Structure 1
Amino acid sequence: MHVIWRPGLQEKIRPTKLLYEIRKSVSKILDKPFTEHIDHQVFKPDQRILAIWAAECAERVLPFFEENYPGDGRPRKAIEVLWDWIDTGVFSMAAIRKASLDAHAAAKGKEEKDAAFAAHAAGQAVGTAHVVTHALGAALYSIRAVVARSADVNSASQERDWQLELLLKYAKQARE
């Protein structure tokens, strides 16, 4: 099901404000100090948890891209590269960079904004292996994809709540 893009819909969710709210919530869930500026090192100890979270956020919206572009596997490949890093801990900057740039390139010029945002979510998610706070970008783009798909600005809070509940679950598991 593809929803016609309505101009102004994404502006109503105010991405900068939403990212701020996500950062604040993530800081609270992970029991980290919240600062006005993103401090990548604050979240470094939680990089694996945030990578899993980012992968799941991006995977949740990946069908938005794949149903429109079934022959383009770049966003899925980005998430696979992230899962490989999560599973093995083997870091390859070349592989991470390529997967991220390829996923973002897949988003370029797409008129279906839900598909484009889903591809961007995958590109941000894989970047979490390099810079932990890219997980925040994956969450934000996933929310934007859901809003674009549903054409309902209220779906942003529902998706954000789902994301934060998932992160809370992973944080509790890590503490046990």
Structure 2
Amino acid sequence: MPKLRKMLGAADSPYILSLMRLIETQRKATIAGWCMDYCEAHILPVFEKRRPGDGRPRMAIIAARDWFEGKKKLPEV
């Protein structure tokens, strides 16, 4: 198991151990897709509520997804 880094909560909590085991069995592409989906669904609304009109985070997520799906090359992002 990889070395644990600082985190909220206890690293030996059953739900954390379960999540870490699940992550270890996934491809990097699956985890990256999950991260983009999570940010778009849970983090972006919080940011946009506090900073209406600042479209940079949404544009960053769109650019990351475009790169991830092969629609754009990294220098374009």
TM-score (norm 2): 0.62
Aligned residues of 2:67 and 2:73 also touching (Cα < 8 A): yes
The residue that corresponds to 1:57 in the other structure is 38
Post-superposition offset of 1:27: 3.6
Aligned residues of 1:55 and 1:79 also touching (Cα < 8 A): yes
4+ long deviations beyond 6 Å: none
The residue that corresponds to 2:27 in the other structure is 46
Aligned residues of 1:51 and 1:82 also touching (Cα < 8 A): no
User: Following superposition of structure 1 onto structure 2, how do residues 3-152 of structure 1 map, counting pairs within 5 Å?
Assistant: 16-18=6-8, 21=11, 24-32=17-25, 46-59=27-40, 60-88=42-70, 90-92=72-74, 95=77
Post-superposition offset of 1:78: 1.0
TM-score (norm 1): 0.31
Structure 2, unaligned runs of 5 or more: none
Give the Cα–Cα distance (whole angstroms) in 2 for the partners of residues 23 and 93 of structure 1: 36
Note the aligned Cα RMSD (angstroms). Answer: 3.3
Output one character per residue of 1:11-63: Cα deviation in whole Å (capped at 9) or x when no partner: xxxx923388497544411445xxxxxxxxxxxx7221111111122112211
Structure 1, unaligned runs of 5 or more: 1-14, 33-44, 96-176
Post-superposition offset of 1:92: 0.5
Letter in 1 for 2:28: Q
Post-superposition offset of 1:85: 1.9
Aligned length: 69
Identity in percent: 29
The residue that corresponds to 1:118 in the other structure is none
Cα pair distance change 1:54/1:19, threshold 3 Å: farther
